[in-house]
Structure 1
Amino acid sequence: MKKLIVLLASLLALGANAEGEVTKEVFISPGVVSIDINHQGEVIKLQRDQDRDNEISSFYVKTTRGKIQKMHPFAPHAVETVGELDVIEYVKQRSAGDDTILVIDTR
């Protein structure tokens, strides 16, 4: 009987841990899950897809995730590389009313 109780307790602990892993939030940066921004008078939530198994497309699977790649395709003009946190900061500043910033998505 004692072994059965220990076994059940172990299984419950494993199940709770597995559930916790599944429900973990996907952060933008440490401590930041989402950011509310104002876009054309409407408040929208900026956040990562919370599905940890999500893949945008198999085409991008082999790209280097989490590392900024320098771009200098327009010699002699250097292109400044900005990361996603830089873009998010610009969007937040623009949302707060800074009209000197223009964010253009050229994907």
Structure 2
Amino acid sequence: MRVKLEAFPFTDYGLVPGVVESISRDAIDLSEYREPELSDTARPAQPGLVYAARIRLLSTTIKVQNKEHKLGLGLSVQAEIKTGQRKIIQYLLSPIAQSLDEAGRER
């Protein structure tokens, strides 16, 4: 999995590798759950059900201008958890395949 640090744009500084340590058993309804220390940018864009995950970073530093800087507590992040793999052609053709599958059916 890969972690994007909001303070360090990934296009300039890259991504930090990580490992999923645990995922909550039950989904959390974000419309009912508000954690005061989270900034608005740290919350998902769309309210709904999410799973809480504990991520362990494989690196505790990031390279800025050829110097290693230690990561501190409280940084806002976005985690990308890879759940599957598709070829680009499959990704591009999936809407067409879905339309063909649903074509001719009556609702």
TM-score normalised by length of structure 1: 0.19
More strand by share: 2
Give the TM-score, by structure 2 length: 0.19
Greater relative contact order structure (CA < 8 Å, 6+ sep) = 2
Higher normalized helix content (fraction of residues): 1
